[in-house]
A and B are shown apart, each in its own frame.
Chain A
């Protein structure tokens, strides 16, 4: 069962590709499992038929943009992804004239991680009338539950309609950051020590981050570096503190880092802290 947005998206992608105004269209395709989608670049109208738009279109497409530098890209963006693209534009990492942005009204995406293993029924989640997942806020992604805005800040054309949003939920992440800030330094250190002791320095958080766009990273250690192999706590602290510092003025809180973290380290606490600090200045 395909949704209205999905049909419109395919139509628009096909039209743009056929007209030759873009080289490729960046969206999602069905992933290896029912509740997974993967970023997908459609280069022809037949490939555009594989584009999907469902309740679990979670990955941030802005992160894939750097692969297609100097090509004319059509891209489907949710509000949070559009914020990342705006930052990329601010840092001259993509050219606005190469982008054709199809903004998609988004009322939150469901968190595939919260589904029980074996439960693969995405259709039941989709409410075709209002085009938003028919799940309560508790099964949405954490960032979506408290998201203030369904419409992206950047688009050339907009798909979808805004329906009255469900009552805004207090952002649990802000509460957690405040709790952490209220601790004294040694307790906070112990908290992070416990969390970061799980870190394997796999750098998934850095790889997925749409705003970590340096060609070579001064922070990542080589695979055979003894500090990396030994999971040296000092190196792990350095990496996460410096990552926070590098993202301090650009992070948009898309939470991709936390989503991909194989050890489930609460990295969104760090990004949320950065955002709160920015608000104070």
Chain B
């Protein structure tokens, strides 16, 4: 039996929507792969692109940043900042040849447990197909 590649995914989730969404996924017993490791932050606007870059540097194969749907941000406009930032950063990642599927910015509301499960499943499947990032040397 050949060993299947299991990607490491870092999830940076906003406390108010995406993290609650992940919680809802758990409470409603939605099934999703265990490849994701979640870090809860107060707002997607808190997430500096360096978190993503450092995650890749330290061995993540993919990074998911999720926050409230546009217009629903607990802090009014944090997710708009996140969107602007990561639009720029995603282009830079792509230019350096890091596959755009390795980084995903998405919106998940607190009630969308099933959506969260779908996103994580999709991402895991994609990353399994892509293979390891091999950015980490040691």
Contacts and interface: CB of A to CB of B under 8 A. Distances in A.
11 contacts: A186-B99, A189-B96, A218-B50, A219-B50, A234-B137, A237-B56, A238-B56, A241-B92, A241-B96, A244-B95, A248-B92
A129 to B, nearest CB: 44
B4 interface: no
A252 B19 CA distance: 39
A188 interface: yes
Which 4 A-B residue pairings sit nearest by Cβ, starting from the closest?
A: A189-B97, A188-B97, A234-B57, A238-B53
A242 B98 CA distance: 14
A242 B50 contact: yes
Contacts of B58: 234
B94 to A, nearest CB: 7
B92 A245 contact: yes
A125 B98 CA distance: 44
Interface of B: 49-50, 53-54, 56-58, 88-89, 91-100, 135-138
Nearest to B88: A248
Residue among A188, A249, A270 with most chain B CB within 10 A: A188
Contacts of A244: 92, 95
Nearest to B102: A185
A190 B99 CA distance: 12
Contacts, number: 71
Contact of B97 (A187, A219, A232): A187
Contacts of B49: 242, 245
Given A233-B137, A241-B92, A244-B92, A185 B50 contact: no
A237 B137 contact: no
A13 to B, nearest CB: 41
Nearest to B94: A185
B92 A237 contact: no
What DSSP secondary structure best describes chain B's contact surface?
helix
Given A190-B97, A245-B49, 9 more contacts: A180-B95, A193-B97, A230-B137, A233-B135, A234-B135, A234-B136, A237-B57, A238-B53, A273-B95
A235 interface: yes
A273 B93 CA distance: 12
Q: A-side binding surface: helix, strand, loop or mixed?
A: helix
B71 to A, nearest CB: 22
A277 interface: yes
Contacts of B92: 241, 244-245, 248
A181 interface: yes
Contact of B95 (A186, A249, A270): A270
A191 interface: yes
A179 B56 CA distance: 26
A143 interface: no
Nearest to A244: B92
B89 A245 contact: yes
Contact of B98 (A189, A219, A245, A249): A189
B99 A232 contact: no
A190 B97 CA distance: 8
